[in-house]
């Protein structure tokens, strides 16, 4: 039995794109800084602060999910390949974000005017979730590129109307309207 995986693939791309977007926008590191005589300052660094490109990749995955639904076989293969490549880039960006997170942490400390204070950062599970989300995007993108051309497409009623070939009655109608066919 061959199953049509178009619907589940579209839903997976939308869910993975949305989930990865949430993981990227969540706090990847949090801390509380307090100087003597000053109130506590909550500091946080999100994935979007550390790796801004990951947000765009997650949005691209969601848009590609809708594109798979409305496209034909060749375009599905291209979309699947693009999604798989976006997933690979997302995995690399989010997995190797150590230096970017450290830079974003320093920036957060500077913005809070808490420099000179020893701040202990704690990490959250959002970064590994973003890496896992992008890894799953690679798998779904490869599946769309591989299987997508075999899936059903939208019917002809969604295509733009094509110009029809003129027939003999069109010539007579044009002459009735006063158009000279010899001109």
Higher pLDDT, 92 or 3: 92
Is 41 within a domain?
Answer: yes
Question: Is the model's pLDDT at 35 over the cut of 60?
Answer: yes
**Within a domain: 26:** yes
Average pLDDT, the chain: 87
Q: How far apart are alpha carbons 119 and 100 in whole angstroms? A: 17
Give the separation between CA 109 and CA 31, rounded to whole angstroms.
10
Distance CA 126, CA 27 (A): 7
- Please list the residues that pair with 42 across neighbouring strands: 32
Residue 23 resides in a domain: yes
- Phi first, then psi: give them for residue 32, nearest 5 degrees: -120, 125
pLDDT band at 1 (very low <50, low <70, confident <90, very high): very low
* Domain count for the chain: 1
CATH number of the domain residue 95 falls in: 1.20.140
Q: Write the pLDDT tens digit of every residue in 110-133.
A: 777 666 677 788 889 999 999 999
Band the pLDDT of 159: cuts 50, 70, 90. low
**Is residue 167 domain-resident?**
yes
In a domain, 182, yes or no: no
* 70 has a pLDDT exceeding 80: yes
Residue 183 counted as domain residue: no
Tell whether 122 is covered by a domain.
yes
Average pLDDT of span 11-38: 90
**Ramachandran angles phi, psi of 159, nearest 5°:** -75, 155
CA-CA distances (angstroms) from residue 100 to 60, 147, 168?
22, 37, 71
Residue 142 lies inside a defined structural domain of this protein: yes
- Residue numbers of the domain that contains 80: 6-176
């Amino acid at each position: 039995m061959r199953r049509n995986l178009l619907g589940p693939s579209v839903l997976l791309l939308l869910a993975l794109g949305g989930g990865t977007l949430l993981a990227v926008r969540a706090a990847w590191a949090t801390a509380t800084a307090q100087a003597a005589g000053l109130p506590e300052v909550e500091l946080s660094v999100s994935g979007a602060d550390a790796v801004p490109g990951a947000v765009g990749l997650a949005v691209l995955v969601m848009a590609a999910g809708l594109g798979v639904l409305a496209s034909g076989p060749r375009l599905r293969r291209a979309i699947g390949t693009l999604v798989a490549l976006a997933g690979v880039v997302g995995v690399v960006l989010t997995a190797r974000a150590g230096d970017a997170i450290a830079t974003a942490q320093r920036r957060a400390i500077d913005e809070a005017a808490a420099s000179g204070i020893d701040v202990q950062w704690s990490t959250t599970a959002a970064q590994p979730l973003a890496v896992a989300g992008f890894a799953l995007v690679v798998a779904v993108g490869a599946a769309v590129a591989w299987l997508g051309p075999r899936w059903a497409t939208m019917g002809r009623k969604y295509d733009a109307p094509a110009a029809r070939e003129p027939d003999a009655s069109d010539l007579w109608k044009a002459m009735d309207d006063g158009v000279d066919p010899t001109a």
